[in-house]
Amino acid sequence: MGLDDDAREYHRRDPPGKIEISTTKPTNTQRDLSLAYSPGVAAPCRDIAADPESIFEYTAKGNMVAVVSNGSAVLGLGDIGAAASKPVMEGKGVLFKRFADIDVFDIELDIDEVDPFCTAVSAMEPTFGGINLEDIKAPECFEIEERLREEMDVPVFHDDQHGTAIISGAALLNATDIADKELADLDIVFSGAGASAIASARFYVSLGAKRENITMCDSSGIITEERAEAGDVNEYKREFASDVDGGDLADAMEGADVFVGLSVGGIVSQEMVRSMAADPILFAMANPDPEITYEDAKSARDDTVIMATGRSDYPNMVNNVLGFPFLFRGALDVRATEINEEMKRAAATALAELARKDVPDAVVKAYGDDPLQFGPEYVIPKPLDPRVLFEVAPAVAQAAMVSGSARTDIDLEQYRERLEARLGKSREMMRVVLNKAKSDPKRIALAEGTDEKMIRAAYQLSEQGIAEPVLLGDADEIARTADGLGLSFHPEIVDPDERDVTAYGDQLYELRKRKGITRREANELVRRDTNYLGSVMVKAGDADAMLTGLTHHYPSALRPPLQVIGSAADTDTVAGVYMLTFKNRVVFCADTTVNQDPDRETLAEITRHTAELARRFNVDPRAAVLSYSNFGSVDNEGTRKPREAVELLHEDPDVDFPVDGEMQADTAVVDEILNGTYEFSELDEAANVLVFPNLEAGNIGYKLLQRLGGAEAIGPMLVGMDEPVHVIQRGDEVKDIVNLAGVAVVDAQE
């Protein structure tokens, strides 16, 4: 099937459409229903009647946006009517929810006239925290937005106008910098004079472009003052009439620095591109076919051509989804009365700045593994970059507070943390640890220092103040890689070929001389194997923690730190723990990487260590030692080990957290089973520390939870080491390295 048929099948698949309504509170009992509706609902109704602002406290209004259209200008389909526009408006709701966790009702109004349309939308103000106008034809869209902004006390935003303006404005800021030009000096030509073109031209002026340097063309050619005086253009086009004799698009583009296409495909030739000024900037945003193809524009000339389109299969996609979800997120969260020019500029500036930062591996993979690095081929972030939410929304919220649009002030640092939590529980949990790490950064040795991911992680650790990274490996190679990545930082490097590491070799010899190693072998190991070098540095106190494993099998990466650093003084047990985060809960799973067949003493130690780890994430541990038996229901050697481990823990006066077992996995995590059937259990709530009976069960269990349960996994985190060491998994992403480095720093602090 082709794309059209696939889309039809996608939309008609049961249930039809793309959105549904779900509840956010329990509705399982009669009391739940009496709270949700009659008679309990009367109490918040009375409170809102007495204090209208309390509607934000008691209802979903503060997170609810209406996407409103009359279907008069739908995508490239034109005036197809309100009903036919509904799939697009539902899709808009999907994007609001997916990218900014904003709930949406799509409203399709079969009203063409401005007055009744405005009356209908304005009457909906009690329901919604914001209004997103969509796919309304020009020039009516200008009047509708202007009137609703005046009449309503919630943000009203016509995305077709301002979305393209903001995203392309962000691209223009970066493109201007790359081309080494000044925004105020740019000669800018527009092809198209509809809503998005006029709004973009206005916004570029707001960013610093000069009105007199903008030439706008419609299907009849350059919009001139002569045409304006003759009544040949509407009042909105008249704003950008130029004092020239006239001409067509080719005439306008000659000598121009910037071309902005918001018209139709295929109208710009290579010759027209060659007529532009040096290092031209072309935003050919007609969809699906740009005014000139990416290939034709790039090959038209030998200098730098910065090209953006509206297509995802070319670099620099100008996509409105980079704007409207995050504008509304920031506006809603400060209860803004409008989305003003200051807020739009803040959004564009935040997007431009984000494009200059290192791109997460997950984003690179989502777009085909091609390198994404600030430059002519990457002037705006990708829509799937999760950082857009907590970069743009806080910038918008701050601009709203400064400009007077906000009705409530918020702490921006706390706000960023709440936004990260919206992207998943793992971000919320890691924020706890990373904040602790930033309070007292420690030196962390990165054993695989020449690896690109390690270098990028070191840059982020340094830039964010999480740790003081020390890269181990060839200094020249590290410098070349960092330079190639465009990372302007100068990390500490320990290169065993340039630095005298004899003292580390001697220390390794002293540690291992009665375990089959000679002095010469010890010195050779610290020179050629950075896992041994890093381990000895930590043992000697020259580094506070160590990370390795990115390019090694787990056992071979773990062996050097176990030999050199070993387990803590009060234990012989080292274990691997994964933290799994679900939407509303967190569980720590152990042991998932180290102990194949632990005895009862080892199981007890693993439980202690994992509970200590949970507390570093500000989680009060409730531990369950798992089996296929519930509290003696099966009695054999396998079930006795976890049962006896629990007995050891109950006898230990230093164990200050609830723990019980042996128990089955569903008993451990389901309150109704735990407290309904086994009311004698030491756990009064579902367990959040799950200790598996052996490595096989632990490894299988956490991977099933991760893949089938939709959990995000952080780890493996080594517990029980005498000094902080973590062995990451081969192929982990930069964010995983940064996360485990943060855990290692907190370990070192404690």
The set of catalytic residues is 37, 92
- Using DSSP's 3-state secondary structure scheme, residue 638 falls into helix
Which residues, other chains included, contact 547 with Cβ-Cβ below 8 Å and sequence gap of 6+? 444, 445, 446, 447, 725, 726, 727, 728, 737, 740, 741, 744
669-705 CB burial, b ≥16 within 10 A, e <16: beeebbeeeeeebbbeebbbbbbbbbbebbbebbeeb
Task: State the Cα–Cα distance between residues 224 and 209, nearest whole angstrom.
Answer: 19
Q: What angle do CA 456, 462, 465 make, to 5 degrees?
A: 135
The separation between CA 9 and the C-alpha centre of its own chain, rounded to angstroms, equals: 30
Taken in order 504, 506, 508, 511, the sign of the CA dihedral is: negative
Tell me the angle at which helices 140-151 and 114-122 cross, rounded to the nearest 10 degrees.
30
Task: State the Cα–Cα distance between residues 218 and 233, nearest whole angstrom.
Answer: 9
Q: Locate 530 and state its tokens.
A: 């950075």
DSSP 575-609: EEEEEEE-SS-EEEEE-SSS-SS--HHHHHHHHHH
Which residues, other chains included, contact 711 with Cβ-Cβ below 8 Å and sequence gap of 6+? 580, 581, 582, 705
Task: Please answer whether residues 362 and 735 qualify as being in contact, where contact means their C-beta atoms are separated by less than 8 angstroms.
Answer: yes
Task: State the Cα–Cα distance between residues 27 and 124, nearest whole angstrom.
Answer: 28
Instruction: Give whole-number Cα distances, 12 to 3, 52, 702, in Å.
Output: 14, 41, 36
Q: Across 414-533, where does the E strand assignment appear?
A: 443-446, 468-472, 492-494
- Using DSSP's 3-state secondary structure scheme, residue 670 falls into coil
Cβ atoms within 10 Å, residue 18: 16
The separation between CA 30 and the C-alpha centre of its own chain, rounded to angstroms, equals: 39
Which residues, other chains included, contact 493 with Cβ-Cβ below 8 Å and sequence gap of 6+? 449, 470, 471, 472, 473, 475, 478, 479
Longest dimension (CA), the chain: 99
Q: Locate 57 and state its tokens.
A: 């406290």
Task: State the Cα–Cα distance between residues 671 and 624, nearest whole angstrom.
Answer: 13
Environment class of residue 341 by beta-carbon count within 10 Å: exposed (0-12), middle (13-18) or buried (19+)? middle
Strands 575-581 and 586-590, bridge-based pairing: antiparallel
Q: How far apart are the first and last CA of the chain?
A: 59
Query: Three-state secondary structure along 556-580?
Result: HHHHHHHHHCCECCCCCCCEEEEEE
Which residues, other chains included, contact 401 with Cβ-Cβ below 8 Å and sequence gap of 6+? 334, 409, 410
